[in-house]
Amino acid sequence: MALFDRLLGRKPDETNLRPLWHRVVEIAREPQWYAHGGIADSVAGRFDAITVVLSLVLLRLETSEAVRGETARLTELFVSDMDGQLRQSGIGDVVMGKHMGKLMSALGGRIDAFRAALAEPDDAALTAAVERNVTLIDAADAGAVAKEMRVIAATLAQADDAALLAGVIAR
């Protein structure tokens, strides 16, 4: 079916995941990431905050057979949003693919790093993963970011699949 949709120029219906995508961005914009965690309030820092939250959501979706397939559609919303952001900043078609490739590589690397670190019982590995993968200000506390990530991961683990897909993430 996806092949026919692409051949006919039809996009998959991503609208049912838009509330979840908007909630990911909303959580990534919360002040604790910047004021308490020390994520840089810059374009790179805001991208990092979005990929942190998106990674946690994608990891949660992977745990449920019923919604595992939605990870690709949520990632497509991320790609679409980042494409629009890059175009607004003046990136043209000639180099767009290269930029998107870097962004997707960053997201994939973070998912792998956070998956492994979240499996560890203490925050040392997660703090180290944050230090390697997130743009922080000089006096930042990567441990505070790691603790917030654990809180969100625990919240997501308790979330009902349908509510999560609808963007209901209790905070």
What is residue 65's predicted lDDT score, i.e. its pLDDT?
A: 95
Domain span holding position 115: 16-165
* Domain total of the chain: 1
The answer as to whether 73 is a domain residue is yes
- Is residue 145 exposed (0-12), middle (13-18) or buried (19+ Cβ within 10 Å)? buried
Average pLDDT over residues 7-36: 83
Phi, psi of 136 (to 5 degrees): -115, 155
The answer as to whether 3 is a domain residue is no
| pTM, 2 dp | 0.85
For the record, the structure tokens of 159 come out as 């979330």
Mean pLDDT across the chain: 86
